[in-house]
Amino acid sequence: MASVEVRNLSRSFGTFKALDDVSISFEDGGFYALLGPSGSGKTTLLRLIAGFGYPDQGHIAIGGESVERVPLEKRNIGMVFQSYALFPNMNVFDNIAFGLDVRGVPREDAAREVRRALELVQLSELETRRPHQLSGGQRQRVALARAIVINPRVLLLDEPLGALDKALRLDMQVELKRIQREVGITTIFVTHDQEEALTMSDRIGILRAGQLVEEGAPEDIYRRPKTRFAATFLGEAN
């Protein structure tokens, strides 16, 4: 577990500024939602923290250690994507074990860790199933178990519930919170669903056009006089 600190982070694609001088402190063990419309830079920020590419400018520290030039495989970060990204030809157990195998964890230790992760996401009964034999919610639990099993310092979730229907989405919100509390892991959660951000997180940052336009606890974000955009985004402007 570790805090994450980004300072004056910028990243352009050609002449387009996807992230423009963004600074955020993500508290150790906290659940932080990055909220904003499509194209506002949420995924770009997550990818830079994970180590998919480097920033043009700025600093990233994980647990107080500068990582902006550290390659992805040395950052020890767990990621979950909307698309699940499971291996279709591997069963649930092997999908979760994969990250431990590539890290050379001995088979017996890996098996113990995988069983613990399966218990955490309540999928112990389904370990021999293939992804196509699972529901969307179950697949997302496998993806979560796979991210957590490597004992990451930080968990990055990119619209993890976006592919689920409304009822399942609400169930998974509760599940995800339970799991995050149980593991106590620093979590950064990208969503464009303000309700989800408000109910799940203890801190929210709102991005617009690559800039951080609002930041604070959910209750403060609602109470505070807002920038025009944030008000519009939160559905309170005409």
**What tokens were used for 70?**
């550290």
Residue 44 is a binding residue for ligand ADP (CB under 6 A): yes
Residue 36 is a binding residue for ligand ADP (CB under 6 A): yes
Length of the chain: 238
**Structural element, H or E, at residue 234:** none
Q: Which is nearer to ligand ADP, 39 or 137 (CB)?
A: 39
Residue 42 is a binding residue for ligand ADP (CB under 6 A): yes
Q: Which is nearer to ligand ADP, 57 or 122 (CB)?
A: 57
Q: How many CB atoms lie within 10 A of CB 200?
A: 23
Q: Which stretch binds ligand ADP (CB under 6 A): 32-40, 127-135, 194-202, 220-228?
A: 32-40
Residue 39 is a binding residue for ligand ADP (CB under 6 A): yes
Q: Which stretch binds ligand ADP (CB under 6 A): 33-41, 95-103, 145-153, 227-235?
A: 33-41
The string over 63-81, giving b where at least 16 C-beta atoms fall within 10 Å of a residue's C-beta and e elsewhere, is eeeebbeeeeeebbbbbbb
Q: How many helices (H) and strands (E) does the chain have?
A: 8, 10
Residue 6 is a binding residue for ligand ADP (CB under 6 A): no
Q: Which is nearer to ligand ADP, 179 or 197 (CB)?
A: 197
Dmax of the chain from CA atoms?
A: 60
Collapsing DSSP to helix, strand or coil, 226 comes out as: coil
What is the contact surface with ligand ADP in residues (CB under 6 A)? 13, 18, 36, 38-44
